[in-house]
């Protein structure tokens, strides 16, 4: 079994990001991951509104805003780091399980 995927009976864990990166690489990785999630919500919102243009899509709209704000804060955090040549460590794990 691949070390980046662990499986239990009703749960799977995926190491999505694990490693050390330069500030530029870290920014690119974070921006890419968050942009994919923002686009997911935009497409979801569009598909809902095609069926019902009166639907305000409150969850998708609020999630998009939340992700955009987090992206901005993370970018500011990474840019403010005085790494003096040090790399940035990023660890991200996705856990997949049944909703109870």
Mind listing the pLDDT tens digit for each residue in 55-96? 566 667 788 899 999 999 999 998 888 767 789 999 999 999
Task: State the maximum Cα–Cα separation within the chain, in Å, rounded to a whole number.
Answer: 53
The H or E element containing residue 34 is helix 23-51
The three-state secondary structure class of 86 is coil
Let me know: does 89 contact 19? Beta carbons within 8 Å.
yes
Say whether pLDDT at 51 is over 80.
no
pLDDT attached to residue 59: 65
Contacts of 64 (CB under 8 A, 6+ apart): 38, 41, 42, 45
Q: Can you read off the two tokens belonging to residue 81?
A: 């780091």
Q: Can you read off the two tokens belonging to residue 14?
A: 């995926």
pTM above 0.85, yes or no: no
Q: Can you read off the two tokens belonging to residue 35?
A: 């942009």
């Amino acid at each position: 079994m691949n070390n980046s995927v662990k499986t239990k009976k009703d749960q799977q864990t995926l190491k999505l990001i694990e490693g050390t990166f330069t500030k530029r690489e870290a920014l690119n990785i974070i921006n890419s991951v968050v942009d994919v999630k923002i686009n997911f919500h935009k497409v979801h919102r569009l598909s809902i509104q095609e069926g019902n243009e009166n639907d305000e899509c409150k969850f998708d709209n609020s999630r998009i805003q939340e992700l955009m704000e987090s992206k901005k804060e993370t970018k500011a955090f990474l840019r403010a780091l005085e790494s003096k040549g040090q790399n940035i460590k990023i660890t991200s794990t996705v856990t997949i399980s049944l909703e109870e």
